[in-house]
Every structure is written in C-alpha cells, then in structure tokens.
Amino acid sequence: MLSVRHLTLRYPNGTCALADFSLQVKPGELVIVLGGNGSGKTTLLRCITRTLAPTAGEVWLNDTNLTPLTGDKLRRARLALAMISQHASLVRRSSVLANVATGALGRHFTPWTAIGGLPAAELSAAYGYLDEVGLTHLAQQRAGTLSGGQAQRVAIARALAQKPKALLADEPVASLDPEAAEDIMRLLRRLAVEENLAVLCVLHQVELAYAYAHRVVGIRDGRVEFDLPRADVSRDAVKRLYMSEAA
C-alpha cells in the first residue's frame, strides 16, 4: 500500500504546491489524479519518489516510512517505486530488450554495473516483461525506431524490470494518439490487477479516467477536492477542478 499522509510542499520561492495532501493506493488499484495545470500533480509524484523532500507529512510504502530515509537506505527503498512520464526516455541506439533490462540495473547496483554485467536471468526476465506489454517481436529492434505508443510500452516494461511495488505515471499518454492512449491505460489497469501493483497515474484526459480508473482523486491548489470510486465521480465535480478561482 502506498500511503501519502498530510503532505505539504513549499518551494524555496514560497509557492505552496501541496497542502495537507493525503491519499492511499492499494495493491491492485489504478488511481487516477485529475487537476488543472499547476495544481500540484507533478509535485506530488516527485515528493513520493523523494526527488523533493516534503516540507511536512510522510510517504509510506507498506511498512516503510520513506520520508526520513537518506543515502543507501533511500536508494534501496526507491527501487520499489517505478516512474514513467510523458516521454519514454529510451536509449535510442540500444535494442528494445536492452532498454527493458536497464530497469533491473538498480537492483544490481555497483558503480561499474552495465547491461553486459547483469545476470543472464535478468535478460530472460526482461524478455518476460516485454511479453507482458506485447512487444516480444520487437526485442532486437533499435528503440529509436519505435512509435510513441510502442516506446511507452517499452518504458512500462523497463519499469516492471525494476520489480516495483508501486508504479507512478505522470501524464503517460500526453503525446499519444487516442487509440495508443487507450492501449496504455488498458495496460496500466491490467498490470495493477494482475501484478498486484499500486498504480498512481496523473492524467489530463477526463474520459480516460472515467474509463479506466478504479478511483479518481481530484486535486486543486495542492489540496484533495475529491477522492472517489470512479462511478461516484460527477461531471460537475470534475468540471470544478478546471475552473479558475474567479469563475
């Protein structure tokens, strides 16, 4: 279970991007966060991965409080959190399979570890993760030749190679066509359920949230506006998220 408790984040310039923000994502659950530009979504994900240190509050993953961790303990705890974003960020000259295998590097960390140094079992495991996203036929292809939707699938397979407990996604379909976007959301939901992953996904596409989320969290000005099962999220509540204060 990923548990965000009373998180507050104030940037050095004084902007309060998150204020007493709490949410939970259970294993097997796809939770989608909706909110306008600047409402604090990316800040939330960066606090969860501890790229940003919260001003107040805590982030727990199962029995571990990530908040006070530093150094090697933080690095190891972070392995349980995989992140994907709008851009797949693959190594274009490397094969698809090699890209997936890089997800395992963190679990075999030495400063000298390269893909060639990974145990053979990791390469066959990488093939398995590629199978999960339906792309084994592209294993040997250079990543730079992939379509946006394929590249995002490879990024997801790379995230799985990390063997995470939670998967965080910041606008993972923002640069995809509608059909590829549906494919990726279907995949994220299936992975949540079948791999028992806690999946937290930031989106701007309201219809995709209605179609694929188990729960939807609305964020506005760094605060939780609503946190509801998808069927209970009203169109009005979503509309209000995107209205300016003056409206």
Ligand X SMILES: Nc1ncnc2c1ncn2[C@@H]1O[C@H](COP(=O)(O)OP(=O)(O)OP(=O)(O)O)[C@@H](O)[C@H]1O
In whole angstroms, what is the distance from residue 57 CA to residue 19 CA?
Answer: 10
Least distance to ligand X, CB of residue 222, Å: 7
* Partner in contact with 85, chosen from ligand X, Mg ion, none, beta carbon below 5 to 8 Å by kind: none
Q: Is 13 in the site for ligand X (CB under 6 A)?
A: yes
Closer CB to Mg ion, 45 or 180, in the complex:
45
Collapsing DSSP to helix, strand or coil, 245 comes out as: coil
Is residue 11 part of the contact set for ligand X (CB under 6 A)?
yes
Q: What are phi and psi of 86, to 5 degrees?
A: -60, -40
Query: Given the rule CB under 6 A, which of 12-20, 21-29, 132-140, 156-164 is the region that contacts ligand X?
Result: 12-20
Residue with tokens 């994900």: 45
From the list ligand X, Mg ion, none, partner contacted by residue 15 (C-beta under 5 to 8 A by kind):
ligand X
Amino acid at 55: T
Token reading at 57: 């509050």
Retrieve residue 205's tokens. 């596409």
Report the residue number, 17 or 161, with the smaller CB distance to Mg ion. 17
Pattern 37-56, binding to Mg ion, x per CB under 5 A?
A: ----xx--------------
User: Taking the complex as a whole, how short is the minimal distance between the CB of residue 11 and ligand X, in angstroms?
Assistant: 3
Give the C-alpha separation, 220 to 241, whole Å: 6
**Cα Rg of the chain, angstroms:** 18
Closer CB to ligand X, 115 or 185, in the complex: 185
At 74, which helix (H) or strand (E)? Answer: helix 71-78
Contact residue for ligand X among 6, 15, 117, 239 (CB under 6 A) = 15
Residue 17 binds to ligand X (criterion: CB under 6 A):
yes
Give, as ranges, the residues between 34 and 53 that touch ligand X (CB under 6 A): 35, 37-43
Closest CB to Mg ion among residues 41, 153: 41
Contact partner at residue 40 from ligand X, Mg ion, none, CB < 5 to 8 Å by partner kind: ligand X
Report the alpha-carbon distance of residue 124 to residue 141 in Å, rounded.
Answer: 16
Nearer to ligand X, 12 or 68 (CB): 12
Sign of torsion, CA 47 3 184 139? Answer: positive
Q: How many CA atoms lie within 13 A of 73 on its CB side?
A: 7
Residues that bind ligand X (CB under 6 A): 11, 13, 15, 17, 35, 37-43
